[in-house]
């Protein structure tokens, strides 16, 4: 039931977004660029709006968002319960699961970061 609700919600958003992009391209470009500021996508001069803006509200965008949202349904973590065994991708592109990196009874430490 949750997957169906997510499908309906995301599909509706994509249809509305695509329609608005067709009817009001300049306004939607400003809106998408504003959203890009939040994620700091606009700060890279080699990564212009023309590279990523038109992909918003495409069929690939719909499939990607659905995949992410559906995977997150499985990734809920609760205090005192086992950690979810989420999929992770190595730099070489191999897909593993988080708990594959456990070694015996040693604690598994995750360090998150980013580079710009």
User: Each residue's pLDDT tens digit in the chain (116 positions)?
Assistant: 888 998 999 999 999 999 999 999 999 988 888 887 777 766 777 777 887 788 888 999 999 999 888 877 766 777 888 778 888 888 888 999 888 888 998 988 887 776 65
| pTM of the model as a whole | 0.56
Contact 104, 96 (CB under 8 A): no
| DSSP alpha helix (H) spans, 24-112 | 25-39, 49-52, 59-73
**Phi, psi of 95, rounded to the nearest 5 degrees:** -100, 125
pLDDT at residue 116, as a whole number: 56
Is 95 part of any domain? no
If we measure between CA atoms, which residue out of 19, 58, 51, 21 comes closest to residue 36?
51
pLDDT at residue 8, as a whole number: 94
Domain that holds residue 32: 1-75
Is 110 part of any domain? no
Contact 94, 35 (CB under 8 A): no
Overall domain count for the chain = 1
For residue 46, count other CB atoms closer than 10 A to its CB: 5
Is 8 part of any domain? yes
């Amino acid at each position: 039931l949750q997957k169906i609700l997510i499908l309906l919600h995301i599909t509706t958003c994509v249809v509305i977004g695509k329609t608005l992009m067709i009817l009001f391209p300049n306004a939607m470009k400003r809106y998408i660029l504003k959203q890009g500021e939040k994620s700091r996508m606009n700060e890279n001069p080699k990564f212009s709006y023309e590279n990523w803006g038109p992909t918003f509200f495409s069929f690939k965008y719909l499939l990607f968002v659905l995949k992410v949202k559906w995977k997150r349904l499985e990734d809920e973590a609760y205090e005192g319960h086992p950690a979810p065994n989420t999929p992770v991708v190595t730099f070489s592109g191999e897909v593993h699961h988080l708990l594959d990196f456990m070694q015996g009874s040693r604690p598994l430490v995750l360090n998150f970061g980013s580079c710009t």
